[in-house]
Structure 1
Amino acid sequence: MIVMSIAGVDPSGGAGVFADLKTFQAIGVYGTGVVTALTAQNPYKFFSTQPVSPEYISEQIDSVMDSYEVEFIKTGMLYSPEIIKLVAEKIREYDLKAVVDPVMVATSGGDLTKEDIADAFNKYLLPESILTTPNVSEAEKLTGLKINTKEDAIKASEKIACNSLITGGHLDGINTINIDGDITIKKQELIETDNLHGTGCNLSAAITAYRAKNNDLHTSIMKALDYVYEGIKNGNYGTLIAKL
């Protein structure tokens, strides 16, 4: 089983394409990686972003698809509306099934994207995707709704243009899953830790990997939430609290 990450590069290895490839391998699928941008960052500080041109991103995707049979992909930092539109076009061209982590801000606080990114997600990419995994802040940007309660999260999930998992790190551990209008709430205990880096990447990558291994979407989400939680509890990588 071969999957693809389309995301930025984090040189510290905790997020982005590098983190996705580690997760793919841990779950037992072969990962390919398309780079949308270079970043200078670490778990605690964001320095800068250097985007890759849409034309070269397109060539990277085509080069992978020329040799491999890929069905499931995940997206992370896409940087600009132009890149988001390109990825949506490639999803249609190759009939890909995409899990979208709508990354807008680095865990360390740096703005990773251009303005109007939420509008581009809603217009181009989410309608072409099987799932999106926003945290509360990202869900608020996608929907224009303020999320303070479980009920708010449910309302926001109903406004998002595809199936969604609104992660609960900023909502008392309440993860809100909406698949085809069916709502599931999975509450997880929050773990106190200072390591906040990369868990959103790991979650969306894990969902993609489990889906590629013939689990249905709901099962893939539940397994991925448990996978990330166990990693946090055992100190393997960043915390579910802040990134999710």
Structure 2
Amino acid sequence: MDKRTIAMTIAGFDPSGGAGILNDIKTFESLGVYGTAVITALTAQNVHDVAGLLPVDTEFIEKQMDTVLEGEDIGYAKTGMLYSPEIVKTIASKVQEYKLKLVVDPVMVAGSGGSLSKKDFAESLKKDLLPLAVLTTPNIHEAGILSGMKIENEEDAVEAALEIGKYCDKVVVTGGHLKGSDIFYNSSIQVFEGELLESDNTHGSGCTYSSAVTAMLSKGWDTGSSIKFAGKFVKESIRHGSRGTLNQMWKFEDPVQFNLKSV
């Protein structure tokens, strides 16, 4: 396979299938990208609760990455839950070794409210991983932690994006809590307007978003087009979801249906 049709997700395992590794692979598959996966942690969770978490040993995370990357020519990867500074440093080392183009989804708290990261995780992320990333995709809660700011509106999100931009060249603060608009920083600010849907089918929405961006980047799309597409893809996944979880396998024909090729 050509490297632009294969991507990697480095994240935690959600046995309910709504978020994490399983979500990422579903999203890749629905967008025509072959997904490979490196598991950083096991969780016991569902849509409503995180009951337990067991991080994977860093040496075994390295072994997973080495084994896959020695067998496949992969250009783009994304991260989800990394949990600890030790895992962050491990991933950063491998990203540099294999020259991966990385999308960072800075997962820290589950949608149900359960903690998915250790103390000092955010600082390690800013120091060790964000400088290596081609894009980071925090929601407003994650952006607030990374920037040290309280985000209550789009103006606050713009300021947070500028602050996070000191660590990562490209930042999109996703708009699930900001009237649906995504705030994109790439040396300047762009606001991609969207809409909020009245739905409980939001478990895994951040994973779907970052996976969709990664998939489209791996297929050769530019960052702005990939972000706009991901926003629309997530909204349709929410619209067609059920039981609190998105549906990434809704009828998908071609990205051209969103009229985004010219963006």
TM-score (norm 1): 0.95
Quote the residue 1:242 is aligned against: none
- Once the two structures are superposed, residues 126-150 of structure 1 have per-residue CA deviations (whole angstroms, 9 ceiling, x without a partner) of 0000011101010010010111121
Give the drift of 1:14: 0.6
Amino acid in the other structure paired with 1:195: N
1:167 aligns with 2:174: yes
Q: 2-side partners of 1:213 and 1:194: how far apart?
A: 31
SS in 2 for 1:130: strand
How much is the aligned-residue C-alpha RMSD, in angstroms?
1.2
Residues 37 and 49, structure 1, Cα contact 8 Å, conserved in 2 = yes
Quote the residue 1:202 is aligned against: 208
Give the drift of 1:151: 1.5
Quote the residue 2:42 is aligned against: 38
Q: 2-side partners of 1:22 and 1:169: how far apart?
A: 21
**Which structure 1 residue ranges, 4+ long, deviate > 2 Å from structure 2?**
234-239
Q: 2-side partners of 1:168 and 1:224: how far apart?
A: 12
Quote the residue 1:188 is aligned against: 194
1:56 aligns with 2:60: yes
Amino acid in the other structure paired with 1:229: K
1:97 aligns with 2:98: no
Residues 43 and 195, structure 1, Cα contact 8 Å, conserved in 2 = no
Q: 1-side partners of 2:195 and 2:246: how far apart?
A: 15
TM-score (norm 2): 0.88
1:109-124 residue pairs with structure 2 within 5 A? 109-124=113-128
Give the drift of 1:229: 1.0
Amino acid in the other structure paired with 1:144: G
Q: 1-side partners of 2:93 and 2:16: how far apart?
A: 30
Amino acid in the other structure paired with 2:119: E
- Once the two structures are superposed, residues 137-166 of structure 1 have per-residue CA deviations (whole angstroms, 9 ceiling, x without a partner) of 100100101111212111111111111110
Give the drift of 1:231: 1.2
Give the drift of 1:111: 0.5
Amino acid in the other structure paired with 2:218: A
Quote the residue 2:261 is aligned against: none
1:132 aligns with 2:139: no
SS in 1 for 2:199: coil
Alignment equivalent of 1:225, drawn from 231, 243, 248: 231
Unaligned runs of 5+ in 1: 240-244
The answer to which of 225-234 and 55-64 deviates more is: 225-234
Unaligned runs of 5+ in 2: 248-263
Quote the residue 1:85 is aligned against: 89
Residues paired across the two proteins, number: 238
Give the drift of 1:46: 1.1
